[in-house]
Amino acid sequence: MASEEEEEETSRESPSSLNEAMLEQIKKMMIEEFDRREKIKEGKRKQPKDPVTSKKKPIEDLSGYMMIPPFHGNNDPDVYLDWERKCEITFNRHNIADINRVKLAAMEFKYYALSWWKQVETARAYSGAYEISTWGEMKRVMRQRFVPNHYQREPHSKLRKHIREIIQLRSTIVAMGNETQAA
C-alpha cells in the first residue's frame, strides 16, 4: 500500500513540475523574442561585414554636406539606374559609410518612392526581419521593384536590331553604288 501511495504522490508531482518547467521554458522564449524585437526596433544589429574600405575615415555627420538627387519612383528603369549611378558616385566621392548610404538615399525619396519605402520598412519590421542596413541590399530591393526582369535583355535585343538595320543599310548603299557606277 505504501508503495502505491508513493507512486501516486510522484505521479501527482511529476505533471505539476513538468508544467512548471514548460512554463519557465515558454517565459524564457518569450523574453528572448521580446528582446529580439526590441533590438530590431532600436536598430541594434550586427554591423555589416564589409564596411567601406578606404584610408579616409567614413563621415558620420552628414548634415548639409552633400546633395543626393531625389528619386520619385517612376516606372522608367533608366531613371532609377541613373539615380543609382549618381548616388554611387556621390557616396564614393565623399567616402560615406554603408549604413549612412541607406539613410541618405531614403531621405531623398519623394512621392511614390517614399510611400513604397515606408511600406517595405513596415513589412520587414512586422515580419521580424532585420531592417535594410547595407547599400547593396537596398539596391537589390529597389531593383526588384523599379527594374523589370526583362529589362536587362532589352538593350541586347535593341543592339541586335540596330546591327541588322545597319547591315541592311550598308547592303542598300553598296547596291545603289553599283547601280550608279553601271549607269
4-48 pLDDT per residue, tens: 555 555 555 576 777 888 888 888 888 888 787 777 777 655 555
Do the Cβ atoms of 68 and 102 come closer than 8 Å?
no
Quote the number of domains for the chain: 2
Do 77 and 119 fall within a single domain? yes
Do 94 and 144 lie in one domain? The reply is yes
Instruction: Please report which residue ranges of the chain form alpha helices under DSSP H.
Output: 2-42, 77-94, 98-107, 111-127, 135-146, 154-182
Pair 99, 23 in one domain: no
At position 119, the amino acid (one-letter code) is Q
Query: Please, what is the Cα angle at 136 between 115 and 54, to 5 degrees?
Result: 125
- Tell whether 132 is covered by a domain: yes
User: Are 32 and 38 contacting, i.e. CB atoms less than 8 angstroms apart?
Assistant: no
With beta carbons less than 8 A apart as the criterion, state whether 84 and 139 touch. Answer: yes
**Would you place residue 72 in the very low, low, confident or very high pLDDT band (cuts 50, 70, 90)?**
confident
- Residues 150, 98 share a domain: yes
Q: What are phi and psi of 90, to 5 degrees?
A: -65, -45
Report which DSSP code applies to 65.
T
Does residue 21 sit in the same domain as residue 98?
no
Q: Answer for the pair 67, 73: CB distance below 8 angstroms, yes or no.
A: no
Q: Say whether both 104 and 140 belong to one domain.
A: yes
Whether residues 74 and 146 fall in one domain: yes
Same-domain status, 20 and 85: no
In a domain, 181, yes or no: no
Same domain, 66 and 95: yes
pLDDT digits (tens, 9 = 90+) for 113-128: 888 888 888 888 888 7
Whether pTM exceeds 0.85: no
Domain-embedded: residue 39: yes
pLDDT at 54: 46
- Express as a percent the part of the chain with pLDDT over 70: 74
The verdict on residue 3 lying in a domain is no
Are 39 and 60 in a shared domain?
A: no
Q: How confident is the model at residue 68 (pLDDT cuts 50, 70, 90)?
A: confident
Does 38 lie in the same domain as 67? no
pLDDT tens readout for residues 140-153: 888 888 877 776 65
pLDDT at 174: 85
- Note whether 118 and 151 are same-domain residues: yes
Instruction: Please name which of 149, 152, 154, 143 lies closest in space to residue 84, comparing C-alpha atoms.
Output: 143
Residue-number span of the structural domain to which 126 is assigned:
56-169
Q: What three-state secondary structure class fits 109?
A: strand
Assigned C-alpha cell, 13: 508531482
Whether pLDDT at 101 is above 70? yes
